[in-house]
Amino acid sequence: MDKKTDLQIEMFAQIQTRKLFEQAKSYAYAYLDSVFDRNVFPTGEAIKGLEIFDEPLPATPGDPIEILHWLHEYGSPATTTITGGRYFGFVNGSSVPTSLAARWLSDVWDQNAALYVISPIASQLETTCEKWLVDLLDIPPGTAAGFVSGTSSATLCGLAAARNELLKRQGWDVNAEGLFGAPAIRVILGEQAHATVFKALALLGLGRARVETVPVDNQGRMIANRMPELDASCLVIAQAGNVNSGAFDPIAEICERARNMGAWVHVDGAFGLWAAASRSRKYLTQGIEMADSWSVDAHKTLNSPYDCGIVLCKQREALVSAMQATASYILYSDKRDGMHYTPEMSRRARVVELWATLKALGKDGVEELVDRLCEYAGQFADLLRQQGFRILNDVVFNQVLVACDTPEQTKATLDNIQASGECWCGGALWNGEPVIRISVCSWATTSEDVERSVAAFIKARRSKG
């Protein structure tokens, strides 16, 4: 029998004694104890401390205790507190506590969600979550779900299914023949479609120069009656939640036009598709059930931990065909095999946190979360408007676009906000004007957080830097 190496013996001991994991737990608890009061963005001193990680790869095994100490001592202070209540950048959500705890457990499980025979628990939870999502979003029964890293990947999967199906209807098998010589596909989308949509189109061989863009209104919504004439070769991409204004395309009208001509509609709903789970916001997603595919992030509005994107496809076989992989060693089963619905084979079981999030919140909790985020976005807009800031969008969801009297003052105010540590917002250009972009995405945000952040805006506008 082979003897264990010294390194093996050490690692077995680390598991058996649990000292390493207890240390990690204590550091995690210390971080959670401070997360709601600490600077939202790291201080200059914390950033400077990261230099300790800039070293050559060690030649010999490191001390596990020291490794964790470095992460806590130098890494923790240099994190952005997205889990807190005053981070409003990039539509980044927090983590529901139950889902965070579930992730800790699933990390120990270390499951690969590719096949049922690799992980029956991942297969079962994916089956359950697929049904729950169809119910929650009120989309057609039988819709397939694939669990990927984020909406960027989900959009890629949805558009791949669309491309292949549209070509199949024209007698072309893209899996066998590739794209050389294939019939043309027309892509129609709004002028303010998200950058990840264009990225997916480029990866799929449906490049930017071939896209037919539709004018948008002053909120970034596609003007449906300005769409070109559609036909059965068309892939139409609608948006549920403009990344800046939060506005929703007129999805029902777009889908009606597409359905009459046999076109495929994909809805990019990274953060906005969850409006379908709220009775007071559902009007924004009217008509989504008529679409053919959808992409959405659970780690945004739903507050599941990163990374947790979802592709949904009404035609299950279209998604499976686009994601297909075969080899003699792959053991498919009569249960759900997750790799049918995603580009990856090896893939962590991110569905564990998604299931825990949905189980913890339930339908009522999801609705309450969505409504609360929208309520605080409205509070932000009202308070800032009272203080003389300009609100440039109709606040219909969780996004607020803010400007000062001049572009220069807006830029300076944003710089001061980001440097303050009180809260953190991103910037963008809106109709050619620099703006401060507020994304209210965390379950932990309170009315007091909003008021405190508005005070930070006022102070930042006064500051000379």
Q: What CATH number corresponds to the domain at position 330?
A: 3.40.640.10
Residues 35 and 148 placed together within one structural domain of the fold: no
User: Helix (H) and strand (E) counts for the chain?
Assistant: 14, 12
Give the pLDDT mean for 11-22. Answer: 95
Please, what is the average pLDDT of the chain?
A: 96
Write down the pTM of the prediction.
0.96
Rg (CA), the chain: 24
Q: Is residue 427 within 8 Å of residue 78, measured between CB atoms?
A: no
Give the pLDDT mean for 72-85. Answer: 96
**Does the residue 96 lie in any domain?**
no
Q: Alpha-carbon distance 182 to 171, whole Å?
A: 9
pLDDT at 328: 82
Q: Is residue 314 within 8 Å of residue 287, measured between CB atoms?
A: no
Nearest CA to 271 out of 325, 225, 308, 324 is that of 308
pLDDT at 1: 55
Query: Quick check: 465 pLDDT over 70?
Result: no
DSSP string, 86-127: SEESTT-----HHHHHHHHHHHHHT-B-S-TTT-HHHHHHHH
pLDDT at 300: 96
Domain count, the chain: 3
**Does the residue 393 lie in any domain?**
yes
Q: Is residue 250 within 8 Å of residue 396, measured between CB atoms?
A: no
Residues 213 and 332 placed together within one structural domain of the fold: yes
Residue type, 271: F
Query: Quick check: 141 pLDDT over 80?
Result: yes
Confidence band for 327, pLDDT divided at 50, 70 and 90: confident
Residues 168 and 278 placed together within one structural domain of the fold: yes
DSSP string, 180-203: TTPPP-EEEEETT--HHHHHHHHH
Residues 26 and 51 placed together within one structural domain of the fold: yes
What range defines the domain where residue 328 resides? 102-358
Query: Quick check: 2 pLDDT over 80?
Result: no
- How do strand 309-313 and strand 433-439 relate by DSSP bridges? unpaired
Q: Alpha-carbon distance 434 to 422, whole Å?
A: 21
Give the pLDDT mean for 22-43. Answer: 95
Residues 395 and 274 placed together within one structural domain of the fold: no
Residues 216 and 348 placed together within one structural domain of the fold: yes
Query: Quick check: 81 pLDDT over 60?
Result: yes
Q: Alpha-carbon distance 347 to 147, whole Å?
A: 9
Q: What is the dihedral of CA 447, 285, 317, 116, to 10 degrees?
A: 20
pLDDT at 207: 87
CATH number of the domain within which 448 lies? 3.90.1150.10
Could you report the per-residue pLDDT of 388-402, keeping only the tens digit for each? 999 999 999 999 999
Residues 277 and 198 placed together within one structural domain of the fold: yes
Query: Quick check: 325 pLDDT over 90?
Result: no
**Does the residue 313 lie in any domain?**
yes
Residues 308 and 173 placed together within one structural domain of the fold: yes
**Does the residue 91 lie in any domain?**
no
Backbone angles phi, psi at 151, to 5 degrees: -65, -30
**Does the residue 93 lie in any domain?**
no
Residues 354 and 369 placed together within one structural domain of the fold: no
Q: Alpha-carbon distance 102 to 205, whole Å?
A: 39
Nearest CA to 136 out of 305, 292, 264, 298 is that of 298
Q: Alpha-carbon distance 119 to 141, whole Å?
A: 25
Could you report the per-residue pLDDT of 238-293, keeping only the tens digit for each? 999 999 999 999 999 999 999 999 999 999 999 999 999 999 999 999 999 999 99
Residues 289 and 247 placed together within one structural domain of the fold: yes
How remote is the C-alpha of 217 from its chain's centroid? 25
191-220 burial: b if 16+ Cβ within 10 Å, else e: ebbbebbbebbeebebeeeebebbebeebb
Give the pLDDT mean for 318-344. Answer: 93
The count of residues in the chain is 465
Q: Alpha-carbon distance 134 to 131, whole Å?
A: 5
Residues 176 and 252 placed together within one structural domain of the fold: yes
Q: Which two tokens stand for residue 250?
A: 């007129």
Residues 66 and 131 placed together within one structural domain of the fold: no
pLDDT at 106: 97
Domain end call among 338, 358, 378: 358
